[in-house]
Amino acid sequence: MNFLINIAIDNFESSDYNLLFKNGKNRKRNFLRNRKWFLAEISKKRAVTKMAKVWKTIPLYHDDTYFTHFRMTRETFADLKNALEPFWSTPHGEYSLEHSLHMTLWKLSNSRVTYRELADRFNVGQGTAHKLFLKTIKTICKLKNEIYWPSVSQQKKIMENFQTSRVNSFPFVVGCLDGTHFKINTPQTDAISYYDRKGNFSVIMQAICDSKFCFLDVFIGYPGSCHDANVWKNSPLYKGITSGQIKLAKDAIILADSAYPVSRYLIAPFRDNGHLSREEKQFNYYMSSTRVFIEQTFGIFRAKFKILNHIDVRNIEDISTVILACAILHNFILRSNPAHSEDNHTSMPENLENSNDHDMIELPENINDTNEGIIRRNNLKMLFIS
């Protein structure tokens, strides 16, 4: 009997344990199911909040606010998107051109924006933000025809525009030439070549502008240690002009600072050795009043795309691509909506880079002023003798 009682007790305890175990498993299963649902809902709400933060907020921006964030009007953005669409492919599940373009413009327009910050703002993964940024700037570079050297007839019009642009304008000017340095991180290879005379690692962009602050030609990628004159001598434009493949209008000249050698078509000021004549000083004054267009263009360019203050990109080739994309956008914006020009939003710099520094830079040993250039400059000097 005791045996039967014990068996009954054991059976009862076993049944009770199984019931408790079964209930525990159910509770655990329900807890995990509820937890999974809860986390999914939280994640969904966060995603909706982030996405809403961007895509529901952007349409509400005042026009000036939109311009400040993306450096162009909504109309210009629509034109840019339409121009890029033939070059853009959107695989299944990838982000649209509109999304990618807004994200890229945001990074270009702000200084030192990390991919983590970009990913958080536009609700994408950090790796996706990096991938889309590079894809978008490479697509923008497909519009490279936005930067072109003008035909002879177009050059004549540019010369007229320069002539009427300033009170003390310089004659026969088809463009203003200079180089500018963009700071970069320490390169992983050949770092010393990128170390410039101001103590920074940098990449050079050589550019020529017109009187409307548009780029007529850019040459990007030379290391910061290179002399401006050497960059010019290796540029496709220089080689095209000297070979005769690129034609210049009659009497047309390009203005440069004293870091460049003078030639028949490239005119630089008299180098200030402390013994300039009154006529030479007067020549330099009139010349600088027009040549400052390139410095103002660089000032507008940097103010528009603050990523250029320090390009935090590792690959040197990608750095040049970023700079070229910014230059293309610069021209696209100015030509798409000239009435809404940058100077309505950014004060016009008088002189971004101190050109007097170049008076202390000697030309490289292998580069000299040509006799033809010296004669041309002396003839031009006579025009300003009063």
| Confidence grade of residue 12 (pLDDT, cut at 50, 70, 90) | very low
Q: How far is Cα 341 from Cα 318, in angstroms, rounded to an integer?
A: 28
Residue 7 has pLDDT above 90, yes or no: no
Report the pLDDT value the prediction gives residue 385, as an integer from 0 to 100. 79
Residue 173 has pLDDT above 90, yes or no: yes
- pLDDT tens digits along 124-166: 899 999 999 999 999 999 999 999 999 999 999 999 999 998 8
Contact status, residue 331 vs residue 338, Cβ threshold 8 Å: no
- pLDDT tens digits along 54-73: 666 888 888 898 998 899 99
The pLDDT mean for the chain works out to 85
Retrieve residue 150's tokens: 């003008």
What backbone torsions phi and psi does residue 385 show, to the nearest 5 degrees? -80, 120
Residue 293 has pLDDT above 90, yes or no: yes
Residues with Cβ within 8 Å of residue 316, at least 6 apart in sequence: 184, 187, 203, 221
Q: Stretch 92-121: mean pLDDT, rounded? A: 90
Q: How far is Cα 177 from Cα 373, in angstroms, rounded to an integer?
A: 16
| Confidence grade of residue 344 (pLDDT, cut at 50, 70, 90) | very low
Residue 15 has pLDDT above 60, yes or no: no
Retrieve residue 271's tokens: 């180098």
Q: Could you tell me whether strands 202-209 and 266-267 are parallel, antiparallel, or unpaired per DSSP bridges?
A: unpaired
Report the pLDDT value the prediction gives residue 339, as an integer from 0 to 100. 64
Retrieve residue 130's tokens: 């990096």
Contact status, residue 361 vs residue 269, Cβ threshold 8 Å: no
| Confidence grade of residue 180 (pLDDT, cut at 50, 70, 90) | very high
Report the pLDDT value the prediction gives residue 347, as an integer from 0 to 100. 47
| Confidence grade of residue 353 (pLDDT, cut at 50, 70, 90) | very low
DSSP β-bridge partners for residue 204? 181, 222
Q: Stretch 222-245: mean pLDDT, rounded? A: 97
| Confidence grade of residue 338 (pLDDT, cut at 50, 70, 90) | confident
Report the pLDDT value the prediction gives residue 362, as an integer from 0 to 100. 76
Name the residue ranges covered by the structural domains of the chain: 1-56, 62-143, 147-382
Give percent of the chain above pLDDT 70.
79
Contact status, residue 149 vs residue 246, Cβ threshold 8 Å: yes
Q: 292, 148, 300, 146: which is closest to 211 by C-alpha?
A: 292
Helix (H, G, I), strand (E, B) or coil at 175: strand
- pLDDT tens digits along 18-35: 544 556 666 666 666 666
Report the pLDDT value the prediction gives residue 52, as an integer from 0 to 100. 44
Q: How far is Cα 257 from Cα 275, in angstroms, rounded to an integer?
A: 18
Chain Cα centroid distance, residue 242: 30
User: Which one has a higher pLDDT value, 186 or 23?
Assistant: 186
Q: Could you tell me whether strands 266-267 and 173-183 are parallel, antiparallel, or unpaired per DSSP bridges?
A: unpaired
- pLDDT tens digits along 195-219: 999 999 999 999 999 999 999 999 9
Q: Stretch 371-382: mean pLDDT, rounded? A: 95
